[in-house]
């Protein structure tokens, strides 16, 4: 189903959190390819202690105790690659690899890198919406799936789909930048201004909170 651990992990961590939870696997297309049911898979996870089921999860290096980072995912589900890498690496190779990894992680937090990622994300969102909707009004109503009168980070992540690797923090920052009230959600007015000339606007459309009744 996936060519390697990188593709598999990216698909499961679709929000770009940097870790995955048990639910990410249980709700993924992988389950449809297995001969076992959801309860069987959960029992297997519990037996192997892959996800900590404690009532309160502590954070360590940005990963909750009931989550799974990439290295552990690779070691668990692709053990042959993990063992092969460990056997073939010299101490010098490991030091070079760890230094490169640290540099990459630090670079990902640089403001200019984050700004470029967010600009690319915004361009991608606008292009996708423009390809599917001709009016701002129709796009807004389609994205507002819970009919609360606002577009949130969750609404956009849901629209982008599980197959899109979107960083949750980047999406949140993008929404906050477009929201003058800094509440992390966009009303119709803010959404309309954001879309700009991307898709046609409908004059005289006033969004009500009982949006489920809107045509």
pLDDT in tens, 57-77: 677 767 787 888 888 888 887
CA 85 – CA 107 distance, rounded (Å): 25
Residue length of the chain:
215
pLDDT-based confidence at residue 214 (cuts at 50, 70, 90)? very low
pLDDT-based confidence at residue 91 (cuts at 50, 70, 90)? low
Nearest to 175 by CA among 190, 197, 153, 147: 153
Average pLDDT for the chain: 76
- Quick check: 177 pLDDT over 60? yes
According to CATH, the superfamily of the domain at 111-213 is EF-hand (1.10.238.10)
Confidence at residue 27, expressed as pLDDT on a 0 to 100 scale? 84
60: helix, strand or coil: strand
* Cα radius of gyration (the chain): 21
Average pLDDT over residues 147-153: 91
- Quick check: 26 pLDDT over 90? no
Q: Which region among 68-77, 132-141, 164-173, 204-213 has the lowest average model confidence (pLDDT)?
A: 204-213
8-state DSSP, 18: S
Average pLDDT over residues 5-33: 79
Which residues touch 58 (CB under 8 Å, ≥6 apart)?
Answer: 64, 65
Who wins on pLDDT, 162 or 128?
A: 128
CA 73 – CA 79 distance, rounded (Å): 9
Nearest to 120 by CA among 174, 194, 184, 197: 174
| Angle (CA) 209 214 215, round 5° | 165
- Quick check: 142 pLDDT over 90? yes
Question: Helix 153-160 vs helix 168-178: angle between axes, to the nearest 10 degrees?
Answer: 130
Beta bridge partners, 20, equal: 68
Residue 140 CB neighbour total at 10 angstroms = 26
73 to 4, 19, 20, 35: CA distances (angstroms): 11, 9, 9, 21
Looking at mean pLDDT, say which of 40-44, 62-66, 100-104, 131-135 comes out highest: 131-135
Confidence at residue 83, expressed as pLDDT on a 0 to 100 scale? 46
CA atoms within 13 A on the CB side of 210: 1
65 to 6, 55, 57, 62, 138: CA distances (angstroms): 21, 11, 5, 10, 42
Confidence at residue 200, expressed as pLDDT on a 0 to 100 scale? 61
Average pLDDT over residues 134-162: 89
CA 163 – CA 28 distance, rounded (Å): 10
Nearest to 170 by CA among 125, 124, 115: 115
Domain ranges of the chain: 5-107, 111-213
Average pLDDT over residues 128-152: 90
- Quick check: 84 pLDDT over 70? no
Confidence at residue 12, expressed as pLDDT on a 0 to 100 scale? 78
Confidence at residue 73, expressed as pLDDT on a 0 to 100 scale? 81
- Quick check: 174 pLDDT over 80? yes
Q: Which region among 54-58, 64-68, 155-159 has the lowest average model confidence (pLDDT)?
A: 54-58
Average pLDDT over residues 134-140: 89
């Amino acid at each position: 189903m996936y060519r390697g651990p990188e593709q598999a992990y990216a698909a499961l961590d679709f929000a770009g959190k940097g870790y995955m939870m048990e639910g990410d696997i249980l709700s993924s297309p992988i389950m449809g390819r297995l001969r076992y049911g959801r309860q069987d898979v959960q029992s297997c996870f519990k037996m192997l202690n892959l996800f900590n089921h404690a009532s309160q999860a502590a954070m360590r290096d940005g990963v909750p105790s009931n989550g799974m980072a990439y290295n552990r995912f690779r070691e668990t589900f692709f053990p042959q690659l993990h063992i092969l890498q460990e056997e073939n690496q010299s101490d010098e190779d490991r030091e070079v690899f760890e230094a490169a990894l640290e540099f990459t992680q630090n670079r990902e937090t640089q403001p200019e890198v984050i700004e470029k990622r967010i600009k690319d994300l915004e361009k991608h969102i606008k292009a996708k919406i423009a390809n599917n909707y001709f009016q701002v009004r129709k796009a807004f109503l389609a994205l507002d799936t819970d009919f609360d009168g606002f577009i949130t980070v969750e609404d956009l992540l849901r629209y982008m789909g599980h197959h899109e690797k979107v960083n949750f923090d980047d999406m949140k920052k993008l929404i906050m930048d477009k929201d003058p009230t800094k509440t992390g959600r966009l009303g119709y007015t803010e959404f309309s201004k954001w879309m700009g000339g991307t898709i046609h606007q409908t004059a005289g459309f006033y969004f009500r909170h009982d949006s489920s009744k809107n045509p």
